[in-house]
Amino acid sequence: MRGLTTTLLLAALLTLLSACAAPTGGTDLRTASDMTEADRRARLRLELASGYFSRGQPETALDEVKQAIAARPDIAEAYALRGLIYASLNQPALADESFQRALQLEPNNADTLHNYGWYLCQLRRWDEAFARFDAAIAQPQYRDAARSLLAKGLCEARAGRVAAAERTLTRSYEIDPGNPGTAFNLAEVLYGLGEYERARFYLRRLNEQPATSNAQTLWLAARVEQRLGNTAGVRRFGDELRQRFPQSAEALRFEQGRFDG
């Protein structure tokens, strides 16, 4: 599961190109001609902030977010992005306040609920994290339920709730079977539960394709085969691991026979 925290955090960036302000009333949709100068400044600053953050420049992104909030203090997206930035800067109190402010403005924003849930997971505030993920998944028309289920499953596994993680990751896989991260983490959880045949199923699909096969998937496959007593399978995956990823930590573990390490 290592290396996924940053990936999920950046993948969870809000869609900041959407309109920054909600309709002021009535049934008419707000369009570009309705935007005030403050709206335009806020939108521009948010777009810049998102770009800087995705390029690994959180301090510059934070400055742009501050200017967006100064222009329009009621934009939930700005506070949600500020929460992500403060989280990346290891400022937990400020990140927490930012996420909560975003949810005060838009309580049902699934992206913010997801991002806050993942942040709470990093702080080991398990039950609060699960509640945010569940709230995101429950939102009507939410198109990224598989993503939130994956994050919740990873969080449950970290919390030691392995059986719950298996159920959650299975749900995520059913929605999005093409996600290699879901398949791998589900296989890893199944390995921990001793369900080696099921783990083998998901790993086989990953290792059949070079694009989804890597040192981690090959090493886990070798460990599964070792548990199943399949010496030929262990050798096959081990040989491929050493040939393709000879400098990897997984190849070293295979050489040393550290199947449980």
Q: What is the DSSP string of 96-147?
A: HHHHHHHHHH-TT-HHHHHHHHHHHHHTT-HHHHHHHHHHHHTSTT-TTHHH
Which position has the token pair 């083998």? Answer: 200
Q: Say what the pTM is.
A: 0.83
193-242 confidence digits (pLDDT tens): 999 999 999 999 999 999 999 999 999 999 999 999 999 999 999 999 99
- Domain count within the chain: 1
The model's pLDDT over 246-255, given as tens digits with 9 standing for 90+, comes to 999 999 999 9
Provide the CATH number for the domain around residue 209. Answer: 1.25.40.10
Residue with tokens 């810049």: 48
Q: How far apart are CA 204 and CA 217, in angstroms?
A: 9
**8 Å CB contact between 142 and 126:** no
pLDDT at 21 exceeding the cut of 60: no
Write out the two tokens for 1.
Answer: 């599961």
Task: Read off the tokens for 93.
Answer: 């109190």
DSSP annotation of 245 reads: -
pLDDT in tens, 79-96: 999 999 999 999 999 999
Inter-residue contact 1 to 154 (CB < 8 Å): yes
In a domain, residue 236? The reply is yes
| 42 belongs to a structural domain | no
Structural domain including 225 reads: 177-260
In whole angstroms, give the CA distance from residue 8 to residue 151: 8
Residue 216: inside a domain: yes
What would the pLDDT profile of 22-68 be if each residue is shown by its tens digit?
A: 333 444 555 555 668 888 888 999 999 999 999 999 999 999 999 99
